[in-house]
Amino acid sequence: MKEIEQDALRTAEDHFAESPSLEERVARIEARDRVEELLAHYARCVDAQDAQGVGAAFTEDGEMCNPGMPALKGRARITKLYGKLLPALRTSSHLIGAQQVLFASSERALVHAAFQAWDSYKADDALDCFSFGFYEVEAVREADGEWRMAALNINFAG
């Protein structure tokens, strides 16, 4: 992630290690790839109507915040919600882009990403929905080495 410091654009991670070794740089690139893949996994599972797959993207005590709904805490509750919502979809298509990842440590990252989603519903009286906005994610690397969402905030812009 970039930030402005003394009127210059600088990579935010530079604050954590002024001279990272080659191994540290490669590890950061690999971690960034895994964190970005986490959002792709989430979107693919929503589009595939796979509530279990959506839930698997979260930590056991993960939290999801979505405007108009109370915050959900816990993988089981998130999985249950998606299990109720996804069967109403005829089809869904998500696009994710402009991902920025800021590593707070080697085990924790903050992610900001834009999204566009198009959903078509099975009910005859339900209108298709096009939405866009951004995701804010707190991702953590768990003991099994996998990155999962400790928190997902969905912010709709339209």
Give the pLDDT confidence of 114-148 residue by residue, as tens digits.
999 999 999 989 899 999 999 999 999 999 999 99
Q: How many residues does the chain have?
A: 158
pLDDT exceeds cutoff 80 at 18: no
Where does the pLDDT of residue 1 fall: very low under 50, low under 70, confident under 90, or very high at 90 and above?
A: low
pLDDT at 14: 56
Distance CA 124, CA 101 (A): 40
pLDDT per residue as tens digits for the range 66-91: 887 789 999 999 999 999 999 999 99
Phi and psi dihedrals of 87, rounded to 5?
A: -60, -15
What pTM value is reported for the model?
Answer: 0.85
- Please check whether residue 158 is in contact with residue 134, taking contact to mean a CB–CB distance below 8 angstroms: no
CA angle 117, 120, 124 (to 5 degrees): 155
CB atoms within 10 A of CB 45: 20
Count the alpha carbons within 13 Å of 112 in the hemisphere toward its beta carbon.
Answer: 4
Where does the pLDDT of residue 4 fall: very low under 50, low under 70, confident under 90, or very high at 90 and above?
A: low
Residue appearing with tokens 């080697």? 106
Residue appearing with tokens 């929503």? 46
Distance CA 120, CA 114 (A): 20
Q: Which helix (H) or strand (E) holds 81?
A: helix 75-85
